[in-house]
Structure 1
Amino acid sequence: MSIDLLGRYYAAFNRSDAAAMLDLLTDDVVHEPSQGAVREGKQVFAEFLDHMNRCYKEEVINPVFLVTPDGGHGAAEFMLAGRYLETDGDLPPARGQDYRLRVGTFFQFRDGLIARVSNHYNLADWLAQVR
């Protein structure tokens, strides 16, 4: 079930379908980004997705999913192909730059939903690609 859940989560991600992604999360989901403050709650995660969909167009390529035997935790590793669409805060100016990053994400599951999303990638690599 959890591997199927991750497959549906990233399929929705690739469609930029925030509503479908949010349907797979607990109301009290915890989002731990690679950089920045931890976000708690589905509404805050929805605001994050809206921001990301405005600033970036990204696609997960060839994800590999792992799930613990008890189904409580999981992980995904994938290549992320993206285009930087709109300048994001104090990051370098967006000019439609393309980038590729290896990403690792850790998950916690509860009641058939995703309760924690913890993303990890190399920010220095991304900055070098978009500068």
Structure 2
Amino acid sequence: MESSSLELAKEYYRHFNNRNWQGMLNLLDTHIRHEPNQGDEPRLGIEKFTEFLKHMDESYEETLTDMVFFSEPGNERVAVEFTVNGVYKKGEEGFPEAKGQKYVLPAAAFLAFKNGKIVRVTTYYNLTQWIKLVS
């Protein structure tokens, strides 16, 4: 029996909190569309998403709490609201210097599913607020 999109979304974020990147990748369609925050260009394909995860792992240590999942009857989309509890480990160009700053930030994501795989991940958070928290 195929898992529901809601169950897959919960599994995806369990893997995130356990830093099990391969577990996350196993739930994605090879043609995943990752739509990052603040209008950055989408990353297309599993290779680009894998590079993104590696970069995030080097620069940030994050755990998600207060997760609330919302699904729709068609089993094709799930939304999740959560709190990001993070440590800024490695600076990025255009952002403040990283000195191990801790931050707590509300965020949300929208996931789309097809044939039992995640085909799109769209993430939203307030970048201006994050910059203030780590400055």
Q: Which residue matches 2:129?
A: 125
- Cα deviation for residue 47 of structure 1 reads 0.2
Counterpart amino acid of residue 34 in structure 1: N
Of 23, 47, 54, the match for 1:43: 47
TM-score normalised by the chain length of structure 1: 0.97
Provide the TM-score with structure 2 as the length reference.
Answer: 0.94
1:74 correspondence with 2:78:
yes
* Runs of 4+ with >6 A deviation: none
Is 1:32 the counterpart of 2:35? The answer is yes
SS across alignment from 2:37: coil
Q: Which consecutive unaligned segments of at least 5 residues does structure 2 have? A: none
Identity, % of aligned pairs?
Answer: 37
Q: In structure 1, the residue corresponding to 2:14 is in which secondary structure?
A: helix
CA distance in 2, matches of 1:52, 1:16: 11
DSSP-derived class of the 1:60 partner: strand
1:11 is the counterpart of 2:14: yes
- Compute the displacement of 1:90 (Å): 2.1
Distance 2:9 2:94 in 1: 31
The Cα shift of 1:67 comes to 1.1
Q: CA deviation at 1:108?
A: 0.6
Q: Equivalences for 1:101-116 in 2 at 5 Å?
A: 101-116=105-120
The 2-side partners of 1:129 and 1:62 are apart by 19
2-side partners of 1:59 and 1:17: how far apart?
Answer: 12
Q: Give the match for residue 91 of structure 2.
A: 87
In structure 1, runs of 5+ residues without a counterpart are: none
**Aligned residue-pair number:** 131
